[in-house]
């Protein structure tokens, strides 16, 4: 969970810094340019700022999704908040953050809406599933 929170916080910080840089660029453009070049430069900076604002909104949404996950609960079946260990990898059903390494162990943080999480959902240790024509044996659910 901590690795996911760190991942999201980094995305938030990066988006905010990029938005500030784009805004500063737009402000500098207005101080040093004239005419059509000024308008084009400001428009480009505004587009860049808006793009980073969208990335910030997405990161804040991920942060909100993380707050709804209960990692203290003991899970018997795979569901949001559970850590599912299979013979092909460990999956934390939470947010889409991809591969995260914690204490030298790789985990895949996946959204509950992802194909692998949807397949794992409701399964318990000992179940065997097929994903991309590959068998996955559920070893544990925490």
DSSP per-residue string spanning 81-141: T-EEEETTEEEEESS--EEEEETTEEEEEE-TTSHHHHHHTT--TT-EEEETTEEEEEEEE
User: Residue 35: what pLDDT?
Assistant: 52
Which parts of the chain have pLDDT scores under 50?
Answer: 33
Q: How many residues does the chain have?
A: 142
d(CA 32, CA 86): 59
State whether residue 22 is helix, strand or coil: helix
94 and 41 together in one domain: no
In a domain, 36, yes or no: yes
49 and 103 together in one domain: no
d(CA 71, CA 65): 13
In a domain, 109, yes or no: yes
42 and 97 together in one domain: no
In a domain, 74, yes or no: no
Last residue of a domain, one of 67, 91, 110: 67
In a domain, 75, yes or no: no
User: Residue 70: what pLDDT?
Assistant: 82
Domain that includes residue 97, residue range? 83-141
10 and 39 together in one domain: yes
In a domain, 127, yes or no: yes
In a domain, 73, yes or no: no
The number of domains in the chain is: 2
In a domain, 9, yes or no: yes
Pairing mode, strands 134-141 and 128-131: antiparallel
User: Residue 130: what pLDDT?
Assistant: 95
89 and 44 together in one domain: no
In a domain, 93, yes or no: yes
User: Residue 37: what pLDDT?
Assistant: 58
User: Residue 29: what pLDDT?
Assistant: 62
Name which of 4, 2, 142 is nearest 79 in CA terms.
Answer: 142
Last residue of a domain, one of 67, 96, 120: 67
């Amino acid at each position: 969970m901590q690795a996911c929170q760190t991942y999201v916080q980094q995305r938030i910080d990066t988006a905010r810094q990029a938005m500030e840089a784009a805004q500063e660029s737009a402000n500098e453009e207005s101080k040093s340019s004239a005419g059509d070049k000024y308008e084009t430069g400001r428009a480009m900076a505004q587009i860049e700022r808006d793009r980073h604002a969208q990335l910030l909104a997405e990161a804040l949404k991920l942060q909100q999704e993380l707050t709804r996950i209960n990692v203290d609960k003991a899970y018997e079946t795979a569901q949001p908040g559970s850590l599912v260990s299979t013979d092909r990898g460990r999956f934390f059903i939470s947010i889409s953050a991809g591969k995260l390494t914690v204490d030298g162990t790789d985990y895949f943080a996946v959204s509950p809406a992802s194909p692998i999480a949807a397949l794992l959902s409701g399964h318990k240790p000992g179940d065997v599933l097929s994903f991309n024509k590959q068998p996955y044996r559920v070893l544990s659910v925490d």
